A and B are shown apart, each in its own frame.
Chain A
Amino acid sequence: MRIDDLINHTSEWLKGSGPYSNIVISSRVRLARNLNSIPFPHRLNKKQGQEVIDAVRTAVEKVDFLKGSLFIDMQQLDALDKQFLIERHLMSYEHARPDNYRALVLEKSEIISIMINEEDHLRIQVMQSGFSLFEAWSIMNRIDDVLSEHLDFAFLSEWGYLTSCPTNTGTGLRGSVMLHLPALVMSRQINRVLSAIAKLSFTTRGLYGEGTEASGNFFQVSNQVALGHKEEEIISNINALIKQVIEQEEQMRQHLFTHQRAILEDKIWRSFGILKSAFIISSQETIDLLSMLRLGVDLDIIKDIDRSTINRLFLITQPAHLQKIENKRLSSHERDVKRAEIIRKTLEKIS
């Protein structure tokens, strides 16, 4: 498998399936782990950096889940490849920075990825489509068990897994859920929901489409506390919180559908109209309009489009994806033209 092969591949988390996939885009679990005898990544010299990469590589080869994975030395990638991987949520911005000795393990179905020498020696990620935090955790738990047989993880019985930043010390676990909440945004209820989430010491971020641009309707909610709870507890706490947010969004969707049907349909069909006919479209406008289209599909107002088609459009209309498809550098204007063309062609097949 090569990076360029990914372009024709649908990331597992974009399948648009899984529980509550009308509201939850994806569920993600990550673990931070460090090797005991080597300084944390920001203090590595070249030899130690390589030592970490080699040790992880050897251990990874022993994990069944990771057979056939792509092992990438970050120094071999150009900026476009890096941006491409960020757009697919397979690595962080931080990992794209040129310093230090970084590598990336990519499992074939894109469910699992491991960043080596990011903020910690290992940042393992498991990502699933829809609301599937427990499934993601159970895969993660098994990966971690196998790796821990072959790697000497920094650990204290009192404080758990030791990480470079104390905010991750303990379980090293962060669970995140990407939510699509157009009805709460439309009805201006979202701020109330977000401040309730913050009070419970969870964090909310936006979705960075375009790698940088955030859209108003997407929110990623994660836990902040990593110590003092069992892993399963941390996962069930986020799970319970997300369930409530889903319920609020669902109620609000029903409310709009019943009481403001004309306004709702107007927004949705106009969005569909623009997407079907535009010749130049920015990434931000695309995200906003696709968000409305997705809502139309979720409410069965728009038929004949499935969620995976919309999800795929979200993914491939991002800048690095457009340039990978065209196999050349595109200016911002050229991207806006190409983006509009891809969207038109996809949607014109649908009546």
Chain B
Amino acid sequence: MLCDLCGKNEATVHLTEIIDNQVTELHLCEECARNKSIEMEQQFGLGDLLAGLAEFGKGIEETESSRLKCSKCGISYEDFKKIGKLGCSQCYITFKRYLSSLLKKIHGSNKHIGKTPLKVTAVADKDKKNILEDLRQKLQKAIEAEEFEEAARIRDQIRELEKVNRKNENR
């Protein structure tokens, strides 16, 4: 059997792929398989994102999103659409409007309810207030559920965060 991609070499690698929810069999030569696996590593999980991006672009004025650039790393939303990667954490603030619906498309939600780092010097100062508020709610819940170990952990986080805030205010 010849390779499905180059049609030249003998196919020695047999892959099963899911494309559009269809299971497809691919028969490849060693060289094409190597390229394919690198490509798959890179695109792993990116299919949905790119689909989301394409659809997403429709709503926005091209000029507006291309003019908008991250103040810290300099990439534009157009750049991001091309490479599928953001340039730095500040990009999330710069492109917040656009990313909000993109994240919702990818994950089915745009609200994080998972863990919080022990030490938070978050991207925006305003965000620290949100984090504090969040942590206080979590603390309340943990105490109500009598999860005291968890409660102690959260309490330490709150103290740490308040310390950072005070330091910043005094600056």
Contact indicator per residue, chain A 113-138, by CB within 8 Å of chain B (1) or not (0) = 00000010000000000000000000
Q: How far is the CA of A155 from the CA of B123 in the complex (A)?
A: 7
Q: Beyond A36-B123, A93-B41, A194-B16, is A157–B106 a contact (Cβ under 8 Å)?
A: no
Q: How far is the CA of A92 from the CA of B15 in the complex (A)?
A: 19
List 6 additional A-B contacts (Cβ < 8 Å) besides A162-B89, A170-B114.
A92-B41, A94-B38, A154-B123, A157-B127, A165-B84, A227-B112
Does A204 make an interface contact (CB < 8 A)?
Answer: yes
Contact indicator per residue, chain B 113-156, by CB within 8 Å of chain A (1) or not (0) = 11111111111100100110010000000000000000000000
Q: Is the CB of A38 within 8 A of B88?
A: yes
Residues of chain B lying within 8 A (CB to CB) of residue A204: 16, 18
Q: How far is the CA of A301 from the CA of B132 in the complex (A)?
A: 60
Residues of chain A lying within 8 A (CB to CB) of residue B12: 213, 282, 284
Q: Is the CB of A166 within 8 A of B33?
A: no
Does A62 make an interface contact (CB < 8 A)?
Answer: no
Q: Is the CB of B30 within 8 A of A212?
A: yes
Q: Beyond A94-B42, A156-B127, A194-B16, is A43–B114 a contact (Cβ under 8 Å)?
A: no
Indicate which residue in A156, A199, A230 contacts B114 across the interface (CB closer than 8 Å). A230
Q: Is the CB of A155 within 8 A of B120?
A: yes
A-side residues, CB < 8 A to B, are 34, 36-40, 42-43, 92-94, 119, 141, 144-145, 148-162, 164-171, 173, 190-191, 194-195, 198-199, 201, 203-206, 208, 210-214, 216, 224-231, 282, 284
The 4 lowest CB-CB distance pairs between A and B, nearest first, are A228-B109, A160-B112, A154-B89, A148-B117
Residues of chain A lying within 8 A (CB to CB) of residue B131: 157
Residues of chain B lying within 8 A (CB to CB) of residue A151: 119
Q: Is the CB of A93 within 8 A of B38?
A: yes
Does B1 make an interface contact (CB < 8 A)?
Answer: no
Residues of chain B lying within 8 A (CB to CB) of residue A213: 12-13, 30, 33
Q: Is the CB of A199 within 8 A of B21?
A: yes
Q: Beyond A167-B46, A170-B112, A212-B33, is A191–B23 a contact (Cβ under 8 Å)?
A: yes
Please name the residue on chain B nearest to A120 by beta carbon.
B85
Residues of chain B lying within 8 A (CB to CB) of residue A206: 15-16
Instruction: Kindly provide the distance from the CB of A295 to the nearest chain B CB, expressed in whole angstroms.
Output: 18
Indicate which residue in B16, B49, B113 contacts A230 across the interface (CB closer than 8 Å). B113
Residues of chain B lying within 8 A (CB to CB) of residue A225: 106-109
Q: Is the CB of A148 within 8 A of B119?
A: yes
Q: Is the CB of B13 within 8 A of A229?
A: no
Q: How far is the CA of A349 from the CA of B56 in the complex (A)?
A: 62
Q: Beyond A92-B41, A213-B13, A231-B114, is A156–B122 a contact (Cβ under 8 Å)?
A: yes
Q: Beyond A92-B41, A157-B116, is A170–B107 a contact (Cβ under 8 Å)?
A: yes
Please name the residue on chain A nearest to B117 by beta carbon.
A148
Q: Beyond A165-B46, A166-B49, is A198–B119 a contact (Cβ under 8 Å)?
A: no
Residues of chain A lying within 8 A (CB to CB) of residue B21: 195, 198-199
Instruction: Kindly provide the distance from the CB of B72 to the nearest chain A CB, expressed in whole angstroms.
Output: 8
Instruction: Kindly provide the distance from the CB of A73 to the nearest chain B CB, expressed in whole angstroms.
Output: 22
Please name the residue on chain A nearest to B16 by beta carbon.
A206
Instruction: Kindly provide the distance from the CB of B142 to the nearest chain A CB, expressed in whole angstroms.
Output: 13
